[in-house]
Structure 1
């Protein structure tokens, strides 16, 4: 499966989710490659920090911030179980290429009306991509939210009936994500029995239950 985390809006937690999902699937024994398609290269920086800390390699991280991604990612997928694309904000050509490569477009949003409005352009790109890849699946994932806040609950309820809909799993605003990233780690490596680690594991399971994949010749 090729999963692309995409949103035109920056700061919604795409890289954090991409890294931790890749790590969760790697922990399950899957062969995983993460493609850093963001010109800022945050996932590559994380990988470099991990090497500096002499931590074991869990999955490959490669930089492919170019609009040929839709041709290159499927080739990479031939030799892996999961490809995770950390997409760029505000670079339409790269996002179009990532959408054409993906089996699942995961759109992280925060519980804010501003995030909903900012997603309109992203959804237009999904609609455009489906002209060429009608099998493309898209889902919102509610990220960086206080699970007990009224706004988070209302946003989740609104997105249930949206097209695309939201996954039932929500990811909280937790300092563990930033603490792990600073040292090239994942939240599960800090402590498997924390809300952050459990939420990532639940999100990974929810994505797998969608039953999405591709048959490569």
Structure 2
């Protein structure tokens, strides 16, 4: 399965979700490749911090911020059960290529009307990609949520019944994720048993469920 995390709006938490999703998909012993397709290289920076901390490599990683991504991924994916693509903001050619490479597109959005509006262009690109890949699946992911707020309630209501649909799993706005970005750790390593760690386990399980 090839999963691309895409949204042309920056700051929605794509890299945090991508690194944690790759780790959770790898936990059953699967070989997983994370492709950093963002020219900013945030996932690669996270990996460098992990290496400096002497932490084990749970999955393979490479940088590939090129518009030929969709042509190169099939070769790169050989020998891996899952591939996760951390996509770029605002680079339309790269986003198109990532869409064509993917089996499933996850669209992280914060519970804000501004994020929903910013996703409109990506949804247009998604429909264009389906002309070439009719079976391409997509899901919204509510990320950086603050529990029991009106914004979260309203966002869930607005996404109910949308196309693409939203995953049932939501991920909170949590300090542990900021620490993970600085240290190259995962929520399960920074705060074992925490709600943040459990959310990522649930996210990976639901993502796997879409492929069945």
Shorter-chain TM band: over 0.9
Distance 1:73 1:134 in 2: 19
1:48, distance to aligned residue in structure 2 (A): 0.9
Gaps of 5+ in 2: none
Contact 2:176–2:191 (CA under 8 A) maintained in structure 1: no
Equivalent residue of 1:163, what SS?
coil
1:28, distance to aligned residue in structure 2 (A): 2.2
1:194 aligns with 2:194: yes
1:43 aligns with 2:36: no
Distance 1:28 1:197 in 2: 16
Equivalent position of 1:111 in the other structure: 111
1:169-203 per-residue CA deviation (whole Å, 9 max, x = no partner) reads 10000001111221111111123310100000001
TM-score, normalised via structure 1 length:
0.95
Aligned residues: 212
Distance 2:75 2:195 in 1: 35
Distance 1:74 1:102 in 2: 10
Equivalent position of 1:68 in the other structure: 68
Distance 2:191 2:15 in 1: 20
Contact 2:169–2:202 (CA under 8 A) maintained in structure 1: yes
1:18-43 per-residue CA deviation (whole Å, 9 max, x = no partner) reads 00111111222111110000000011
1:150 aligns with 2:150: yes
Runs of 4+ in structure 1 deviating by more than 3 angstroms, as ranges, are none
CA RMSD of aligned residues (A): 0.9
Equivalent residue of 1:173, what SS?
coil
Equivalent residue of 2:22, what SS?
helix
Gaps of 5+ in 1: 213-217
1:147, distance to aligned residue in structure 2 (A): 2.1
Distance 2:106 2:125 in 1: 13
